[in-house]
Amino acid sequence: MITAFIFWLFLISTLLQCCYQFYFFSRILFFIDTKSNKIIFKEQPISILICAKNEAQNLKNNLPQVLSQKYHNKNGECLFEVIVVDDASSDNTQEIITALQLQFSNLRLIRIPPDANRNFKGKKFALSKGVEASKNDFLLFTDADCMPNSLEWLSTMTSALLQGKELVAGYSGYYKHNGWLNAFIRWETVHTLLQYSTYLLAGKPYMAVGRNLACTKSAFLKAQNSKIWNELPSGDDDLLVNLVANEHNMALVLSNEAFTYSEAKADFNAWVHQKQRHLSTGKYYNLDTKLLLGMYALSHAIMWVSFFAILFYGNYEIALAVFSIRMFFLFIVFSATTKKTNEGKLLYFLPIFDLGWMVYNFVFSPFIFLKNKQHWK
């Protein structure tokens, strides 16, 4: 009786996993970037915003690539500004920015003193100051530790805004290094992209990555003026999408030249702290999004647990065949995703890291419901 129950539990959960792959994830197979920025030319100025707290070395390394973007008018005049919001840094951030301003006239610094009266929590206060100071209606967000993958990053990420979209989600990856932690972080990043990109393509956008996100100023202000915006110090990217995006006003960009890259956490404890902060936004997602994501994670966990139970106690031949079919379909969609993100070697770890993602969910799911800290760094 118990064996039969576990077997049916396995079949139902695996069927649900396949339904997600067919209805959502398969959309990545047919997605093609339009490259519209290569065709359409409009003299539309852009503001790039970077919030930084004690990020002097990262700014020194990455800002020149941001400031050197190819985005000029027909006369060769620069059409974008870069605003760095220094949130009460105690390092030499100001000196780094001052030195770069001698070379780049479009670089601006907004300094927030330690004793500033904050009307928003954490990073959101720095963001509000940057948006308030911006001169343009189109905004592109990234972080101090992010390096654009090309000098076409700005034009590619904002091309959809020129066509009337209000939000644009891009991809932000991590540099490859040796070690299991680095490989899993990169795998989880690709898996997250597979989820939010295909949900967006299905008309159900729910998140984006703030390290590579574009929007109109009106869209940002609409989110900022909502009641739940100031509930937590981070999560501005996910909340922005949940509060403003719909099936018509958000675009996806997966062109290589529009990627950004940063260093993954090399220390396990530092990575855990980062994930705690990132996952805290989940409780504020729309109800249908929470149900879809929750059912996906739950069915995934039940599938793996019941599969192992059947291997030891049940008719494993049928279970192994069904499980193999699910893994085959996952391999196809994940292969397409890793190809688009230049992470093809991660396919070798697919079964191991898919199992690891179940453990990941068990470990980190409680942090979705815990109270958030008031500081973002």
Which burial class, exposed, middle or buried, applies to 327 when counting CB atoms under 10 A from its CB (0-12, 13-18, 19+)? middle
Same-domain check for residues 189 and 325: no
CA angle 225, 143, 366 (to 5 degrees): 70
Q: Give residue 366's pLDDT.
A: 65
Digitized pLDDT (tens) for each residue of the chain, 377 residues in all: 668 889 999 999 999 999 999 999 999 999 988 654 444 446 799 999 999 999 999 999 999 999 999 999 888 889 999 999 999 999 999 999 999 999 999 999 999 999 999 999 889 999 999 999 999 999 999 999 999 999 999 999 999 999 999 999 999 999 999 999 999 999 999 999 999 999 999 999 999 999 999 999 999 999 999 989 988 777 889 999 999 999 999 999 999 999 999 999 988 888 877 777 666 677 788 899 999 999 999 999 999 999 999 988 767 888 999 999 999 999 999 999 999 999 999 999 999 999 999 998 887 776 655 555 545 56
Same-domain check for residues 149 and 223: yes
Same-domain check for residues 254 and 107: yes
Same-domain check for residues 62 and 176: yes
Strand order in the sheet with 147-148: 147-148, 260-262, 172-174
The Cα 184–Cα 278 span in angstroms is 16
Q: 156-194 as b/e, with b when 16 or more CB fall inside 10 Å?
A: bbbbbbbeebbbbbbbbbbeeeeeeebbbbbbbbbbebb
Which strand (E) or helix (H) includes residue 252? strand 250-252
The Cα 77–Cα 177 span in angstroms is 39
Domain count, the chain: 2
Q: Give residue 172's pLDDT.
A: 97
Same-domain check for residues 306 and 334: yes
Domain-terminating residue out of 227, 245, 274? 274
Closest CA to 123 of 144, 150, 138, 139: 144
Same-domain check for residues 8 and 50: no
DSSP letter (8 states) at residue 72: B
For residue 35, give every residue at least 6 positions away whose Cβ sits within 8 Å of its Cβ, in sequence order, or none: 156, 159, 255
Task: Assign 76 to helix, strand or coil.
Answer: coil
| pTM confidence score | 0.92
Domain that holds residue 7: 2-28+288-368
Same-domain check for residues 188 and 101: yes
Q: Under a CB-based contact definition with an 8 Å cutoff, are residues 82 and 108 in contact?
A: yes
What's at 160, amino acid-wise?
A
Q: Give residue 282's pLDDT.
A: 75
Q: Give residue 4's pLDDT.
A: 84
What's at 3, amino acid-wise?
T
Q: Give residue 244's pLDDT.
A: 96
Which strand (E) or helix (H) includes residue 248? none
> Do the bridges between strand 167-169 and strand 250-252 make them parallel or antiparallel, or are there none, so unpaired?
parallel
DSSP letter (8 states) at residue 24: T
Domain-terminating residue out of 217, 242, 274? 274
Q: Give residue 313's pLDDT.
A: 79
Same-domain check for residues 106 and 92: yes
The Cα 227–Cα 223 span in angstroms is 9
Residue 58 has phi, psi (to 5 degrees) of: -65, -40
CA angle 131, 247, 140 (to 5 degrees): 25
